[in-house]
Amino acid sequence: MTAAAVAVWLGTVVTILSRSHGDRNVYPSAGVLFVHVLEREHFKGEFPPYPKSGDASNDPITFNTNLMGYPDRPGWLRYIQRTPYGDGVLYGSPTAEHVGRPTVIEITAYNRRTFETARHNLVINIMATEEFPLPYQAEFYIKNMNVEEMLASEVLGDFLGAVKNVWQPERLNAINITSALDRGGRVPLPINNLKEGVYVMVGADVPFSSCLREVESPHNQLRCSQEMEPVISCDKKFRAQFHIDWCKISLVDINKVVPVYITRPDPGTGILPDFGEYNPPSESLKSRDYFSDFLVTMAIPSAVALVLFFILGYIMCCRREGVEKRNMQTSDIQLVHHSAIQKSTKELRSMSKNREISWPLSTLPVFNPVSGEVVPPIHPDNYETTSMPLMQTQSNLQNQITIPQPRPSDG
């Protein structure tokens, strides 16, 4: 291999490694919605080409995201991907407590055709701003949208434009987007193009408009309690694209929110002190010999059971008196008496076998007094009685004989 070929090969390897392990930095602001799309096209170059040159590469790719060193993502960050043939989306709203600490998200792409993986790192540097959070916040529930549809920049921009037309603020930002399923909503049936629904929170720097305040009127509150749609004058500005459930709108003025301070109770004597994070044992642990534990657990109970077995066998087999010893300890009178009883019993049994038993009338021969013919009896030893009728009819008789009638006497 020439030096030029080696240089080209090394340059290719360095390019692939830098693309596989390069970190991408993003700088979201605290209190503002953060959306990052994981594009499948960006990761297709990490996998081998499609086997057929003429076919378009459309491998199913899924993503797994987690905080570096942890199995899951931070609490404020969510992820969604509907199908392996669509892009994934990371979204959420970072808070002020995350400012100044870089959040490294490991993104692992899985090619479901070749079972190969590619890993990138996303470094989220949360920036602090003085104008956030905005003091007036409103949360809308949109019924005809899914969360991934609402996260699209065009759709979210149209919604913020409609809200700005109604609210008329100087600054308006999306604060957070939450799927209705994360709020305890039910998965819709796959009919009539039903959607899951999405909650969108926006913030502004001016008080709420009169149109947004209409939902707080007693008349609309009564209609909401009766599960009827309230009458909102500015609903037509949203209806063309967004179906808003005005009964679920939430208007919050953070200037009037009373902070709640939760004091931690003083732990008693039964509460262990806080030792910080769990420190697992080191890898240099000494091996332990479990032979003595085996002897105590298995060998000793087995030995005790064996001794008991021999004791029981000796008692049952070696401690029997026997017939001769029993006869020697029994008096002669009792033996003679027992022998006489046994002899008489045998004699009675032999006599019962030789005696003649009178047969039942149903088994005796049948005599015809007119013809003098004897019909053979139905003997249970010679006939199958299970298929014979209990009483024979005239049609069943084998030798049916007509009985002659007596003649009248002359004169």
Express each pLDDT in 225-234 by its tens digit. 998 999 998 8
Alpha-carbon distances, residue 189 vs 179, 192, 194, 225 (angstroms): 16, 8, 7, 25
Q: What is the C-alpha separation between 232 and 209, in angstroms, rounded?
A: 12
Length of the chain: 411
Residue ranges of the chain that CATH labels 2.60.40.10: 24-126
What count of other Cβ atoms lies within 10 Å of the Cβ of residue 111?
Answer: 19
Q: What is the C-alpha separation between 385 and 304, in angstroms, rounded?
A: 64
Give the model's pLDDT for residue 324. Answer: 72
Cα angle at 12 between 9 and 14, to 5 degrees?
A: 110
Return the percentage of the chain with pLDDT > 90, whole number.
29
Mean pLDDT over residues 363-384, rounded? Answer: 56
Cα angle at 258 between 257 and 262, to 5 degrees?
A: 130
Q: Is the pLDDT of residue 18 over 50?
A: no
CATH of span 24-126? 2.60.40.10
Alpha-carbon distances, residue 207 vs 204, 255, 357 (angstroms): 8, 11, 120
Cα angle at 401 between 398 and 406, to 5 degrees?
A: 165
- When pLDDT is cut at 50, 70 and 90, the band that residue 199 belongs to is very high
Q: Is the pLDDT of residue 329 over 60?
A: yes
CB 135 within 8 A of CB 255: yes
Closest CA to 84 of 106, 113, 51: 113
Cα-Cα-Cα-Cα dihedral of 300, 303, 308, 313, to 10°?
170
- When pLDDT is cut at 50, 70 and 90, the band that residue 16 belongs to is very low
Give the model's pLDDT for residue 316. Answer: 82
Q: Which residues 6+ apart lie within 8 Å of 89 measured at CB?
A: 35, 36, 37, 38, 79, 80, 81, 148, 151
Q: Which residue has the higher pLDDT, 377 or 335?
A: 335
Indicate the pTM of the whole model: 0.58
Q: What is the pLDDT of residues 78-114, one digit of tens each?
A: 999 999 999 999 999 998 888 888 899 999 999 988 8
* Residue entry with tokens 């657990």: 297
The answer for 100, left when phi > 0, alpha when psi is -120 to 50, beta otherwise, is left
